[in-house]
Amino acid sequence: MKIPLLEMKGITKRFPNVVANERVDLELYSGEVLALLGENGAGKSSLMNVLAGLYRADEGEIYIRGEQVEITSPRDAMLLGIGMVHQNFMLVDTMTVAENIILGMSDLPFVPDMANVSERILEISKRYNLQVDPQSYIWQLGVGERQRVEILKLIYRGAEILILDEPTAVLTPQESRELNQVIHQMTAEGKSAIFITHKMEEVIAFSDWVRVLNKGRLVAVKKTAETEPTELVQLMVGRDVLFCVEKSGRSPGDLMLELNNVQAVDDKGLPALKGISFKIRSGEILGIAGVAGNGQKQLAEVITGLRKTTGGRIRINGEVKTNKTPFDMICSGVSHIPADRNVRGVAGDMSVADNLAMKGYRKAPLTEKGILHPVRILELARRMIDAYHIDTPTPHTHSKFLSGGNVQKIILAREIDACRGLLIAAYPSRGLDVGATEYIAQSESGKAVLLISEDMEELMTVADRVAVLYEGRIMGILTCKEADTEKLGMMMAGIE
């Protein structure tokens, strides 16, 4: 039997509030590319950080060519031939390419011969068609070039196993094709690669094998040639029971939200929304399905004023509201349950009651003629604590003392309660035991709701229509009746 080049057995990695990896196994053979596939947060980076010596696993073993190894630092990993290109590059801006490549290498002479270093860099650069100028400063380079420097650095240092963490996220399609060539050249020479991604088509294009992670667990091992995108989507998302629940008593009213060819870029300046158009009427819930990371975050942000659009138009209640501030959007009746609830959402040093009242401060009945009414704030808080089952000792408790789930309920309660027209809810049920969508569906009708969720069952239960987001585009919008597992799965995999 062939011994794997690399074997990880039963890797468990815990963080204070989450198990990032739970007894995960991995095998990699020489000359092969393994794709590690999973939604955002599935535990891909954590597993690879364990391998690269950045994290210590709580449990599990690692073997190289059948021999157990201890990897306690990136240096250990490098000596074993393991090198990782991280999601955020780790290059020093003020140094040249050549300096970065030898930076931190231990077996260098006191005064390194830079001419020699440059020569070797050019040699590798030519062999792998990785074009870089050793004399350039990092700050002069674009993202694609920086990635090349990272890869070159690892090859220079003798990496046999190259780990690439979502490498194409920062690349143009042309650069992605070049990267594919580089990887093929490397594997042809007997080196191996682990390629992290959440995109099915990259798995198909780049890999020999694929391992799928879902919520920290390994859920599938497939030979790439023997699987297909729709199967991979199902494995990634982990649910396939879909049923349409008849929504009674809702009749759509006036047009509340209208997006027309809306475009936006992500934090790295790359296109994230590539022309989004849809409409939502009051009394209607539009679900947004799709693998997380396909533009969901940016979509919520442009509608709530947190991100500028680079094209297109947003109308609320018939009025153009493109590129307004978050405060303008609140005034236009937009409420927002954000996905990153720890960053945005609640002020930990304020009481539960004040956090609940935050959106009503500026108006009656909480404020009258510029005077705050603490008694009314408390009444409102008590009512909301009750209705949303928020577990807090008193309304005066600082919200930082509450559990994560209860902090989330504060946001839900406040946003649903304050909503006067349009509710943008991003993954509202994440981290909650009871489905948040129940609160949304039960709340008084007449609102328009945009519900972004990775839970297909949840979407089918409450949404009237479901739009599938893929690579910053809407693949199609189906009514709940038209939607089934197969159609949605195909659309989520980017197949028309």
Ligand X SMILES: Nc1ncnc2c1ncn2[C@@H]1O[C@H](COP(=O)(O)OP(=O)(O)O)[C@@H](O)[C@H]1O
Q: Shortest gap between Cβ of 62 and ligand X (angstroms)?
A: 17
Q: Shortest gap between Cβ of 83 and Mg ion (angstroms)?
A: 17
Q: Tell me if 38 contacts ligand X by CB under 6 A.
A: yes
Q: Tell me if 43 contacts ligand X by CB under 6 A.
A: yes
- Cβ proximity of 250 and 479 under 8 Å: no
Q: Shortest gap between Cβ of 18 and ligand X (angstroms)?
A: 4
Q: Tell me if 46 contacts Mg ion by CB under 5 A.
A: no
Structure tokens at 293: 């990371």
15: partner contacted, choices ligand X, Mg ion, none (Cβ within 5-8 A by kind): ligand X
3-class SS at 491?
A: helix
> What's the first-to-final CA gap in the chain, in angstroms?
42
Structure tokens at 53: 């010596």
Q: Shortest gap between Cβ of 249 and ligand X (angstroms)?
A: 38
38: partner contacted, choices Mg ion, ligand X, none (Cβ within 5-8 A by kind): ligand X
The smaller minimum CB distance to ligand X, of residues 41 and 305, is found at: 41
Q: Which stretch binds ligand X (CB under 6 A): 37-45, 72-80, 314-322, 451-459?
A: 37-45
* Residue 287: partners with Cβ closer than 8 Å, 6 or more residues away: 451, 452, 453, 459, 460, 462, 463, 465, 466, 467
The smaller minimum CB distance to Mg ion, of residues 39 and 99, is found at: 39
Please give the single-letter amino acid code of residue 213.
L
Total chain residues near Mg ion (CB under 5 A): 1
Task: Read off φ and ψ for residue 465, nearest 5 degrees.
Answer: -135, 155
Total chain residues near ligand X (CB under 6 A): 11
Judging by beta carbons within 10 Å of its beta carbon (0-12, 13-18, 19+), is residue 339 exposed, middle or buried?
buried
Q: Tell me if 46 contacts ligand X by CB under 6 A.
A: yes
- Of positions 13, 20, 36, 45, contacts Mg ion by CB under 5 A: 45
The smaller minimum CB distance to ligand X, of residues 213 and 352, is found at: 213
For residue 115, the tally of other CB atoms under 10 A from its CB is: 9
- Of positions 22, 23, 27, 40, contacts ligand X by CB under 6 A: 40
Q: Shortest gap between Cβ of 469 and ligand X (angstroms)?
A: 18
70-75: long-range contacts at Cβ-Cβ below 8 A with a sequence spacing of 24 or more? Answer: 75/106
Q: Shortest gap between Cβ of 20 and Mg ion (angstroms)?
A: 10
The smaller minimum CB distance to Mg ion, of residues 45 and 227, is found at: 45
Q: Shortest gap between Cβ of 431 and ligand X (angstroms)?
A: 10
Closest CA to 219 of 242, 235, 196: 235
- Of positions 33, 35, 37, 42, contacts ligand X by CB under 6 A: 42
40: partner contacted, choices Mg ion, ligand X, none (Cβ within 5-8 A by kind): ligand X
Q: Shortest gap between Cβ of 37 and Mg ion (angstroms)?
A: 12
- Of positions 11, 26, 34, 41, contacts ligand X by CB under 6 A: 41
Q: At what angle do helices 229-237 and 485-492 cross, to 10 degrees?
A: 100
Site for Mg ion, residues 170 to 209, rule: CB under 5 A = none
Q: Tell me if 440 contacts ligand X by CB under 6 A.
A: no
Q: Shortest gap between Cβ of 435 and ligand X (angstroms)?
A: 20
Closest CA to 330 of 365, 296, 346, 306: 306
Q: Tell me if 45 contacts ligand X by CB under 6 A.
A: yes
- Cβ proximity of 156 and 124 under 8 Å: yes
Structure tokens at 220: 């599938």
Q: Shortest gap between Cβ of 429 and ligand X (angstroms)?
A: 15
408: partner contacted, choices ligand X, Mg ion, none (Cβ within 5-8 A by kind): none
* Residue 426: partners with Cβ closer than 8 Å, 6 or more residues away: 296, 297, 300, 336, 337, 338, 339, 452
Q: Shortest gap between Cβ of 91 and ligand X (angstroms)?
A: 21
How distant is the alpha carbon of residue 201 from its chain centre? 17
The shares of helix, strand and coil residues in the chain, as percent rounded to the nearest 5, are: 35, 25, 40
- Of positions 26, 44, 214, 412, contacts ligand X by CB under 6 A: 44
Q: Tell me if 214 contacts ligand X by CB under 6 A.
A: no
The smaller minimum CB distance to ligand X, of residues 42 and 98, is found at: 42
Q: Tell me if 20 contacts ligand X by CB under 6 A.
A: yes
3-class SS at 367?
A: strand
- Cβ proximity of 437 and 257 under 8 Å: no
Q: Tell me if 214 contacts Mg ion by CB under 5 A.
A: no
Q: Which stretch binds ligand X (CB under 6 A): 43-51, 117-125, 351-359, 439-447?
A: 43-51
Q: What is the secondary structure of 403-462 as a DSSP string?
A: -HHHHHHHHHHHHHHH-SSEEEEESTTTT-SS-HHHHHHHS-TT-EEEEE-S-HHHHHHH
Q: Residue numbers of the site for Mg ion (CB under 5 A)?
A: 45
Task: Write out the residues near ligand X by the rule CB under 6 A.
Answer: 15, 18, 20, 38, 40-46
